[in-house]
Structure 1
Amino acid sequence: MNQKALVEAAFAMLPKAYAPYSHFHVGAALLTKDGEVFTGCNVENASYGAAICAERTAFVKAVSEGKREFQAIAVVGGREGAVADFTPPCGICRQVMAEFGGPDFQILLAKSPEEIRCLTLAELLPEAFGGAQLEKEDGSDADV
Structure 2
Amino acid sequence: MDHMNKEQLMESARNSKGNAYVPYSKFPVGAALLLNDGTVINGVNVENVSFGATNCAERTAIFTAVANGYKKGDFTAIAVAGDTADFLPPCSICRQVLVEFCSPDMLVYLTNEKKEILELTLKDLLPHAFTNLDM
Using the size of structure 1 for normalisation, the TM-score is 0.85
- Runs of 4 or more off by more than 4 Å in structure 1? none
**Matched residues, percent identical?**
54
- Structure 2 unaligned regions, length at least 5: none
CA contact (8 A) 2:44 2:58 kept: yes
- Tell me whether 1:56 sits opposite 2:59 in the alignment: yes
Deviation at 1:15, TM superposition (A): 1.1
Asked whether 1:15 is paired with 2:23, we answer no
Per the TM alignment, residue 124 of structure 1 is displaced from its structure 2 partner at its CA by: 0.4
Deviations 1:52-78 (A, max 9, x none): 000000001101111121010000112
Aligned length: 130
- CA offsets, 1:68-116, max 9 Å, x none? 21010000112xxxx5431100000000100111110111001269511
When Rg is computed on C-alpha atoms for both structures, the one with the higher figure is 1
- Which of 31, 35, 43 aligns to 2:34? It is 31
Cα deviation 1:3-25 (Å, max 9, x = unaligned): 01100100111111111111111
Instruction: Give the SS at the match of 1:24.
Output: coil
Query: Unmatched 5+ residue regions in structure 1?
Result: 136-141
Q: Distance in 1 between matches of 2:114 and 2:32?
A: 13
Structure 1 contact 4–114 (Cα < 8 Å) conserved:
no
> Do the aligned partners of residues 113 and 100 (structure 1) sit closer, same or farther apart at CA in structure 2, a change above 3 Å counting?
farther
- The equivalent of 2:80 in structure 1 is 75
Structure-2-length-normalised TM-score: 0.90
Structure 1 partner of 2:120 = 119
Question: Within 1, Cα distance between the matches of 2:99 and 2:125?
Answer: 10
RMSD value, Cα: 1.6
For the Cα contact (< 8 Å) 2:82–2:113, is it kept in 1? no
